[in-house]
Structure formats: C-alpha cells, structure tokens
Structure 1
Amino acid sequence: MKPEVPAVLAELAGLVARNAVPDVDPAERAGALGLSAALLGMAAEAWDGAAQRLVEENRALRALLSAAGDLAGRDAWLAGGVDDDLRISVLSAANARLRAALVDLHAAVELDSSPEARVLEAQIWDELRRSTERRLMSGALA
C-alpha cells in the first residue's frame, strides 16, 4: 500500500482527533468517518499480506538479478540476499534496493540485442505484472 500503512494510520489518528471536537460540522464528520473506515479496511488488508508479498517479490527480483549474470552489473551482489528479518520496514527497504536494481537491469537489457536479453526482458515484464497483481486490493476495480 502506498503510502505505507504506518503513515496512513498516523493520518487517521489526526483525522479522528480533529473530528472528536464537538463543533465539527456533522456532514464533515460523517465524511471523515466514512473515509477513515475505508482507509482502515485497506490498511488492514495491506498489512496482513505485506510480509508475504514482500518476501515473494524480493525472491523473484533476486532470481531475475541472478539470471541476468553480467547484465546485473554492480547490483549482482543483491541476488545472493535472503530475507531473514521479516519486519515490514526491513523487507520494504530490501524491496526498494531490489526494485532500483531491476530498473538498472531493465535499462541494460533494453540496450542488449541478444536473444538472451529478450528472454530476460520478457521475464522482467512478467514479474512487473505479477507485482502489480500482488498489490491489488480486494475492492479494486480491475
């Protein structure tokens, strides 16, 4: 979920505090409560699956970097990582590093005209599609 769940929860805390004041317009309060309920539901869904999604994604990105060989360049070392620490903040930081490496790898693959590069490019696009699907919320219009 973007923004990250802790930021959403902090914003909701402020929204609840602002709407606890007795002189808030009832229509404004109703709108704020509706928004709060929707965001809390989305945050709960995102948080529940976040570690699993990040571990799956980090694994897939490491596999792509590993398969890239020399094309991975300076980011090749990331392919050997593992997710031992399952805190969301740690998994997210690793995911950000791996995604940055994927961007660099994708750029390198696009410049390479070899058949192997075309296969890797297709694998990159496939992982990007799967990554998007992992992030779909149950109420998403898709």
Structure 2
Amino acid sequence: MNPSAPRVLQGLAANLLSEVMPNISTPFGQQLVGIAAMLEMMLAEEFDRAADRLVTENRVVRELLAEGRALLGEGCPTSVAAAIAAPAAPTLRVPDLQRENDLLRAALIDLHAAVEQAPGEAARAFEERIWAELIESTRRRQFASRL
C-alpha cells in the first residue's frame, strides 16, 4: 500500500472532526481541533497542486518578463534580464520551483513598476496583462475549503 499524502491528511482531518472533536469539552478546545482539521485539509489540497501551480506560474511569468523586456528595451530593469537568464528550477521539487518563482516574481514587480511609468497604449495594454496574471495567480492559490 502506498498512501498518498493528500488522502492521509484528509483522513486525519476527518478523524479529528468526527472522533476527537466530540470528546473535547471546552469550546476553545473544539475550536482548536476544528482549525487543525481545516489546516490539514488545506495542506492536502496544496500538496496535491503545488508543483503544477508553480510550473505554470513560472512559465507564464517568464513569458511576461521576455515580452516586457522587448516592450521596454533599454528602459527595462536589470532584474528582468537576470531573471530571464536564470536557469529553470533543477527539479520539480516544490522548494526548487518556489525559489525560481520568488526570483521571477521579484523581477515581475520591477517590470510592473517600470511599465506603469512607460508612456503609450502598448504599455497600458501590457500593464493589464500583468494585472490579469496577478489575479490568476491569486485564483490558483485559493482553497476549496476556507477557515
């Protein structure tokens, strides 16, 4: 048997809610058990999607950085060129993907600030694309269950 982490976490959460919580006598203790169960459910969901989310986001942000560099030319922040030149994560392990994501998102912040200062319709349209990705990246992080 090879149990998956999400199933184990979901089972633990269900056990906390159905078996442990009814045996806790104080409202505070029940609240703590309920929060622990919800956090386990959120961890299960994030474990299942984290690598895919980061791979997708890293690809999209790299594309935005390249397009932004072409749009701004010499006015592009140096962090953008450095992020584009940085190698992709060496593995699909979440910490490696997250380090790449942190680098790319920091450069995207610099690019966004530069695009906001750039004149013209092309800059405004590109600024909207950056906002659209920021909204989408927030959506990717939403949990089915909320505390």
TM-score, length basis structure 2: 0.71
1:1-142 correspondence runs (5 A): 26-27=25-26, 28-69=28-69, 70=73, 71-75=75-79, 76-80=81-85, 81-140=87-146
Q: How far apart in 2 are the matches of 1:59 and 1:121?
A: 18
* Cα 1:34/1:140, change in 2 over 3 Å: closer
| 1:89 counterpart letter in structure 2 | P
Q: How far apart in 2 are the matches of 1:39 and 1:123?
A: 33
User: Would the aligned equivalents of 2:51 and 2:94 in 1 still touch at CA under 8 Å?
Assistant: yes
Cα deviation 1:42-97 (Å, max 9, x = unaligned): 11101110000011111111000000123542122322543441111111111111
* Cα 1:72/1:47, change in 2 over 3 Å: farther
Q: How far apart in 1 are the matches of 2:138 and 2:146?
A: 12
Per the TM alignment, residue 140 of structure 1 is displaced from its structure 2 partner at its CA by 4.7
- The secondary structure found in structure 1 opposite 2:77 is helix
Partner of 1:6: none
Q: CA RMSD in A?
A: 2.0
* Cα 1:140/1:40, change in 2 over 3 Å: closer
Aligned positions, number: 117
User: Would the aligned equivalents of 2:66 and 2:84 in 1 still touch at CA under 8 Å?
Assistant: yes
User: Would the aligned equivalents of 2:116 and 2:123 in 1 still touch at CA under 8 Å?
Assistant: yes
User: Would the aligned equivalents of 2:65 and 2:84 in 1 still touch at CA under 8 Å?
Assistant: yes
TM-score, length basis structure 1: 0.74
Q: How far apart in 1 are the matches of 2:92 and 2:63?
A: 19
* Cα 1:72/1:86, change in 2 over 3 Å: farther
Q: How far apart in 2 are the matches of 1:55 and 1:103?
A: 19
